[in-house]
A and B are shown apart, each in its own frame.
Chain A
Amino acid sequence: DVVMTQSPLSLPVTLGQPASISCRSSQSLAHSDGNTYLNWFQQRPGQSPRRLIYKVSTRDSGVPDRFSGSGSGTDFTLKISRVEAEDVGVYYCMQGTHWPYTFGQGTNLEIK
């Protein structure tokens, strides 16, 4: 299985400040069809996960533009330009290139 490794696992951030989460995969996530299936999910306390970003950098509908994704190959990043209170939760990266699809361990974002 492809191992997804996130860092940091805990991320205390001051309101209005930027935040960044790294996700590294044990194999390249470049698919033979030309796409890279790397997704980012947000799970707020007590809620189902919500996809924020798919194919590395495409934001889902309704996702604020303060969220951005980047990367290629095995190295990916989720950035929040200015953290707001509603961003508290656990963030997961997930690869959809190799079966079985796998998730990172999660990064717990909290307000400092």
Chain B
Amino acid sequence: QLQLQESGPGLVKPSETLSLACTVSGGSISSSDYYWGWIRQPPGKGLEWIATMYYGGSTDYNPSLKSRVTVSVDTSKSQVSLKLSSVTAADTAMYYCVRDGGYWGQGTLVTVSS
């Protein structure tokens, strides 16, 4: 059974960089059959697709965040990582790792506050 587990600091200071990891178990992270994504949901609000990483390492970033987002994969650790720089309170959200949209992690809440 494929499982995705997000991890990272729950509290980030304004202007700093948010760094999250998604550890994949029960399946291969290196397959041309799937893509990996990051989605976020501010408290009490809707869903926003942040970024997608495809097999081979190509990426798509949401233009609204493109200048601040980086997604990468570490196959040795079976991890997909998200970095979001220059964060503000507007980046406070539950962050989810997904595979294709069919598999979701439990999410990790990141609060941006001094």
Chain A residues packing against B (C-beta within 8 Å): 1, 39, 41, 48-51, 54, 60, 92, 94, 96, 99-106
Contact = CB atoms under 8 A, between A and B. Distances in A.
22 contacts: A1-B63, A39-B101, A41-B101, A48-B96, A48-B104, A48-B106, A48-B107, A49-B104, A50-B104, A51-B101, A51-B104, A92-B46, A92-B47, A96-B101, A99-B52, A100-B63, A101-B37, A101-B49, A102-B49, A103-B46, A104-B46, A105-B46
B105 interface: yes
B101 A94 contact: yes
A97 to B, nearest CB: 12
B102 interface: yes
Contacts of B96: 48-49
Interface of B: 37, 46-49, 52, 60, 62-64, 96, 101-102, 104-107
Contacts of B104: 48-51
Nearest to A50: B104
A41 B106 CA distance: 15
Contacts of B102: 51, 54, 60
A103 B40 CA distance: 11
Nearest to A95: B49
Nearest to A105: B46
Contacts of B62: 100
Contacts of A1: 63
A48 B60 contact: no
Contacts of A105: 46
A47 to B, nearest CB: 8
A106 B106 CA distance: 19
Contacts of B105: 48
A58 to B, nearest CB: 11
Contacts of B46: 92, 103-106
B101 A103 contact: no
